C-alpha cells in the first residue's frame, strides 16, 4: 500500500486524507495540536459555545463532495441549515441592508439610501453571476500544475473575461456610487484576506455566490464539520496522530524521503503539506532543496490580512442582531490603508459579529443569552507590533466601538470573555505571519497563480490549503484537498 503523510489536520488535510484512504492509500495525519480543525475550533466557557474561526459557510456542495467521493451521504454525519437573512449590514448612519436572494427586497433596501444604486443592483448581480460561472468552469475545479495547464487557451480566455486588471472596487464603481453599497460588496475581498482596492474584480462573484448558493449554519456549531470529517476519516482507517509536530521534510535526490517529527521519522511515498505552505517552505525544507521558492522569493509574497477576535458571553439578548452581522465604519477605505500600508490595527474597524445563538439558542446556553464572536480585520504580524500591549488596548477599543454601535452594557454584564490575536493564530496554527488566508490576492499573480500544489523541486511533495490553489476559505481548502488527492490517485493509476 502506498504511504501518504499529511502534515496538518485542518479541513484541507482531512479532505485529502479521506479521499486518498478511500482509494487504497495508507494515510497518516500528523497534527501538532491536541485537536483537529486548525483555524476552525470550538471554544467553550461559562456555558457559552463559540465557533472560533470560520462561521460564514458557503458552497455546501464542496463539503458534500468529500462524502460522496467515498460513497457516503453528508447528512448522515453533519447537518447544514440555511441562514436567513444571509447577513445584516449596518452602516454608520443607521441604514441597514439585510442581504437576501430576493432582488426586489434588495432593491428596496438599497433605494432607501440610494435610488440610483438600487437601479443598478440587478445588472451588478448578472456580472457577479458571470464571474462565478467563469471561476467554477476554469479555476476552482482543477489544479494548475504545469505551464501547459496555466497557458491553456480556455483558461486564458476565462481570465481575460473576468477583467483581471480591474480591482473589486473599480468594478463596483461601474455600477454603484454610494459608499454603503461600495462597502457592502467591496467587503467580499476580505473573504480572501485582501483589499477591495487591490484584489481583482473576479471576487465580486461572492455576491452572486452567497445570494444564489446561500450561507449555511452547521447544527451544533461549525466545529461539527471537523468532527464529521474526523469520524469519516477514522471509519476509513486514516491514522491520526495528535500532538506530533513535523520539524523537517527530508529530501533525497530531489525526491521526498519522509518527514521527521518531534517524536520519530516517517518514510512516505507522498507527503502533503496541509499546513501553511509559506511556513512549511520557510521552516521545514532546506533552501537548497527548493530552488523555485528561495527565501528571497518567499519574502516578496504579501501575506493576507489577519483577524483580531473577541469572544463575549453575555446574559442578555441584543434584539438588533441576526446570525451574521456587519457594522461598517464611516470611512471604509481607511481600514485597508491601516491594515496593508501602515500594518496597524484599524482605528475604526468594520466589526463582524457572529451570533450563532440566534439560530441555535443551545449554543449560547439559552434564549436570554448571547454568544458573540466579534472579528475586526487586522494586519498580518510584523516585528514592529507589540501584541502584549495591543491585545489589551484593542480589546477595550473593540468594546467601545460595540457600545457606539448600540451594544450596551457589555462591560457590566459580560460573563465570559477571551480574545485571539493574529500572533495567537500564528502560534496555534502555524499561519505565516498570522495571516488567515495564506497569501493575499492583492495582485494578479498572487490571486491567480498561487503556490504550486505540486512541488516543482521535490518529487512526491504536494500542498493543499489557502496559500495554494484555489485559495483560502473553508470550501476552497476542502476543494484543494480533493483536487490534490485526485491528482495523486491519477498518478498511481
Point out which residues bind ligand FAD (CB under 6 A). Answer: 7-13, 30-33, 38-40, 53-56, 245-246, 274-275, 307, 309, 375, 425, 429-431, 436-437, 465-466, 472-474, 477
Which residues touch 306 (CB under 8 Å, ≥6 apart)?
A: 377, 378, 379, 380, 381, 422, 425, 431, 433, 434, 435, 436
Chain CA centroid to CA 47, Å? 27
In the complex with ligand FAD, the residue whose CB is nearer, 74 or 159, is: 74
Which residues touch 283 (CB under 8 Å, ≥6 apart)?
A: none
- State the residue number with the nearest CB to ligand FAD: 38
In the complex with ligand FAD, the residue whose CB is nearer, 245 or 331, is: 245
For residue 370, the minimal CB distance to ligand FAD (Å) is: 19
* Residue 408 CA: distances (Å) to CA of 43, 121, 218: 24, 34, 29
In the complex with ligand FAD, the residue whose CB is nearer, 64 or 107, is: 64
In the complex with ligand FAD, the residue whose CB is nearer, 120 or 474, is: 474
Asked if 451 contacts 467 with a C-beta cutoff of 8 angstroms, the reply is yes
Asked if 238 contacts 24 with a C-beta cutoff of 8 angstroms, the reply is no
For residue 343, the minimal CB distance to ligand FAD (Å) is: 18
For residue 83, the minimal CB distance to ligand FAD (Å) is: 12
C-alpha cell of 316? 442578555
Asked if 4 contacts 488 with a C-beta cutoff of 8 angstroms, the reply is yes
CA distance 476 to 58: 10
For residue 479, the minimal CB distance to ligand FAD (Å) is: 11
Residue whose grid cell is 495508507: 26
Residue whose grid cell is 495547464: 149
CA distance 103 to 100: 8
For residue 356, the minimal CB distance to ligand FAD (Å) is: 12
For residue 32, the minimal CB distance to ligand FAD (Å) is: 4
Burial of 475 (0-12, 13-18, 19+ CB in 10 A): buried
In the complex with ligand FAD, the residue whose CB is nearer, 117 or 432, is: 432
* Residue 269 CA: distances (Å) to CA of 13, 457, 481: 17, 15, 17
Contacts 24+ apart (CB under 8 A), 449-455: 449/144, 449/150, 451/277, 451/278, 451/281, 451/293, 452/145, 452/292, 453/143, 453/144, 453/145, 453/480, 453/483, 453/484, 453/487, 454/143, 454/145, 454/484, 454/487, 455/290, 455/292
For residue 481, the minimal CB distance to ligand FAD (Å) is: 8
In the complex with ligand FAD, the residue whose CB is nearer, 7 or 158, is: 7
For residue 469, the minimal CB distance to ligand FAD (Å) is: 12
CA distance 230 to 223: 11
Query: What is residue 57's DSSP assignment?
Result: B
In the complex with ligand FAD, the residue whose CB is nearer, 35 or 79, is: 35
CB neighbours of residue 345 within 10 Å: 23
For residue 453, the minimal CB distance to ligand FAD (Å) is: 12
Give the closest residue to 372 by CA, choosing from 398, 393, 394, 390.
398
For residue 115, the minimal CB distance to ligand FAD (Å) is: 32
For residue 211, the minimal CB distance to ligand FAD (Å) is: 16
CA distance 470 to 480: 6
Give the closest residue to 370 by CA, choosing from 390, 356, 387.
356
In the complex with ligand FAD, the residue whose CB is nearer, 114 or 356, is: 356
In the complex with ligand FAD, the residue whose CB is nearer, 65 or 117, is: 65
In the complex with ligand FAD, the residue whose CB is nearer, 210 or 338, is: 210
In the complex with ligand FAD, the residue whose CB is nearer, 121 or 394, is: 394
Amino acid at each position: 500500500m502506498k504511504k501518504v503523510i499529511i502534515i496538518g489536520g485542518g479541513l484541507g488535510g482531512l479532505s485529502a486524507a479521506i479521499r486518498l484512504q478511500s482509494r487504497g492509500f495508507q494515510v497518516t495525519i500528523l497534527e501538532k495540536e491536541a485537536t483537529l480543525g486548525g483555524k476552525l475550533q470550538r471554544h467553550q466557557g461559562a456555558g457559552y459555545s463559540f465557533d472560533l474561526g470560520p462561521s460564514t459557510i458557503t458552497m455546501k456542495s464542496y463539503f458534500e463532495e468529500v462524502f460522496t467521493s467515498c460513497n457516503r451521504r453528508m447528512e448522515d454525519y453533519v447537518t447544514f441549515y440555511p441562514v436567513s437573512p444571509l447577513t445584516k449590514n449596518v452602516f454608520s448612519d443607521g441604514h441597514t441592508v439585510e442581504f437576501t436572494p430576493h432582488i426586489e427586497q434588495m432593491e428596496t433596501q438599497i433605494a432607501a439610501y440610494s435610488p440610483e444604486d438600487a437601479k443598478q443592483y440587478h445588472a451588478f448581480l448578472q456580472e457577479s453571476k458571470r464571474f462565478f460561472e467563469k471561476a467554477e468552469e476554469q479555476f476552482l475545479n482543477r489544479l494548475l500544475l504545469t505551464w501547459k495547464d496555466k497557458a491553456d487557451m480556455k483558461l486564458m480566455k476565462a481570465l481575460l473575461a473576468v477583467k483581471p486588471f480591474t480591482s473589486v472596487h473599480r468594478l463596483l464603481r461601474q455600477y454603484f456610487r454610494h459608499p454603503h453599497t461600495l462597502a457592502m460588496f467591496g467587503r467580499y475581498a476580505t473573504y480572501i484576506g485582501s483589499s477591495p482596492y487591490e484584489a481583482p474584480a473576479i471576487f465580486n462573484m461572492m455576491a452572486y455566490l452567497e445570494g444564489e448558493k446561500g450561507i449555511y449554519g452547521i447544527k451544533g456549531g461549525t466545529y461539527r464539520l471537523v468532527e464529521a470529517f474526523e469520524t469519516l476519516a477514522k471509519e476509513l482507517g486514516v491514522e491520526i496522530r495528535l500532538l506530533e509536530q513535523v520539524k523537517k521534510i527530508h529530501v533525497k535526490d530531489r525526491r521526498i524521503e519522509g518527514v521527521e517529527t518531534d517524536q520519530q521519522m516517517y518514510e512516505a511515498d507522498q507527503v502533503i503539506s496541509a499546513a501553511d505552505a509559506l511556513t512549511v517552505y520557510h521552516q521545514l525544507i532546506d533552501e537548497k532543496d527548493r530552488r523555485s521558492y528561495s527565501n528571497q522569493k518567499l519574502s516578496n509574497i504579501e501575506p493576507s490580512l489577519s483577524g483580531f477576535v473577541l469572544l463575549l458571553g453575555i446574559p442578555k439578548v441584543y434584539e438588533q442582531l441576526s446570525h451574521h452581522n456587519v457594522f461598517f465604519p464611516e470611512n471604509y477605505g481607511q481600514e485597508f490603508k491601516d491594515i496593508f500600508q501602515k500594518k496597524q490595527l484599524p482605528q475604526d474597524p468594520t466589526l463582524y459579529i457572529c451570533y450563532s445563538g440566534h439560530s441555535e439558542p443551545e449554543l449560547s446556553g439559552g434564549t436570554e443569552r448571547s454568544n458573540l464572536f466579534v472579528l475586526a480585520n487586522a494586519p498580518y504580524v510584523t516585528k514592529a507590533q507589540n501584541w502584549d500591549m495591543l491585545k489589551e488596548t484593542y480589546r477595550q477599543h473593540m468594546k467601545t466601538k460595540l457600545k457606539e454601535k448600540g451594544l450596551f452594557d457589555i462591560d457590566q454584564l459580560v460573563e465570559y470573555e477571551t480574545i485571539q490575536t493574529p500572533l495567537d493564530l500564528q502560534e496555534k496554527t502555524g499561519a505565516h505571519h498570522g495571516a488567515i488566508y495564506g497569501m493575499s490576492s492583492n495582485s494578479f499573480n498572487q490571486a491567480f497563480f498561487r503556490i504550486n500544489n505540486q512541488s516543482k523541486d521535490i518529487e512526491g511533495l504536494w500542498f493543499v490549503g489557502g496559500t495554494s490553489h484555489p485559495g483560502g476559505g473553508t470550501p476552497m481548502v476542502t476543494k484543494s484537498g480533493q483536487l490534490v488527492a485526485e491528482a495523486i490517485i491519477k498518478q498511481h493509476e
